[in-house]
Amino acid sequence: MTTKKRLAYLVLLDSLIVFLSIFVSYFILSPSTNIFTTTIVVSSAALLISHHFLAYRFKIYNRVWQYASIGELSAIFKVVTLSLLVTALFQLFILQDVFIRTLMITWMIHILLIGGSRFSWRLYRDTYIKRRNDQKPTLIIGAGAAGTMVARQLLQNHDAELCPVAFIDDDPLKQRLEVLGIPVLGTVDDIETVVKENSIENIIIAIPSLTKKELNEIFQECSKTNARTKILPMLEDLMVGKVSVNSFRDVEVEDLLGREPVELDTDKIGKKLTGKTILVTGAGGSIGSEVCRQVCKFNPETIILLGHGENSIYAIELELKKQYPDINVETEIADVQDREKMFSIMKKYTPHVVYHAAAHKHVPLMERNPEEAVKNNVIGTKNTAEAASEANVGAFVMISTDKAVNPTSVMGATKRMAEMVIQHMDIVSDTKFVAVRFGNVLGSRGSVIPLFKKQIQEGGPVTVTHPDMVRYFMTIPEASRLVLQAGALAKGGEIFVLDMGEPVKIVDLAKNLIKLSGYTKEEMPIVFTGMRPGEKMFEELLGADEVHPEQIYPKIYIGKTPLVDINVCHRLVENLDELSKGELRERLLDIANFRVKELVGS
Which are the catalytic amino acids? 403
Cβ-in-10-Å burial (0-12, 13-18, 19+) of 382 comes to: buried
Rounded to the nearest 10 degrees, the angle between the axes of helix 566-574 and helix 410-428 is 120
Cβ-in-10-Å burial (0-12, 13-18, 19+) of 240 comes to: exposed
CA-closest candidate to residue 431, choices 353, 488, 494, 359: 353
CA-closest candidate to residue 559, choices 548, 545, 571, 551: 548
Q: Are residues 287 and 444 in contact, defined by beta-carbon separation less than 8 angstroms? A: yes
Q: Which residues contact 544 (CB under 8 A, 6 or more apart)?
A: none
Q: Are residues 520 and 513 in contact, defined by beta-carbon separation less than 8 angstroms? A: no
Q: 188 to each of 140, 145, 191, 468, how far by Cα in Å?
A: 11, 18, 5, 28
Q: 17 to each of 89, 90, 113, 153, how far by Cα in Å?
A: 21, 19, 7, 31
Q: Sheet of 277-281: strands edge to edge?
A: 328-333, 302-307, 277-281, 353-356, 395-401, 432-438, 495-498, 556-559
Q: Which residues contact 507 (CB under 8 A, 6 or more apart)?
A: 464, 467, 469, 526
Q: Are residues 78 and 58 in contact, defined by beta-carbon separation less than 8 angstroms? A: yes
Q: What are phi and psi of 562, to 5 degrees?
A: -60, 145
Q: Are residues 511 and 461 in contact, defined by beta-carbon separation less than 8 angstroms? A: no
Query: Whole-angstrom Cα distance, residue 72 to residue 140?
Result: 26
Q: Is the peptide bond before 461 cis (omega within 30 degrees of 0)?
A: yes
Cβ-in-10-Å burial (0-12, 13-18, 19+) of 215 comes to: middle
Partnered with residue 281 across adjacent β-strands are: 306, 356
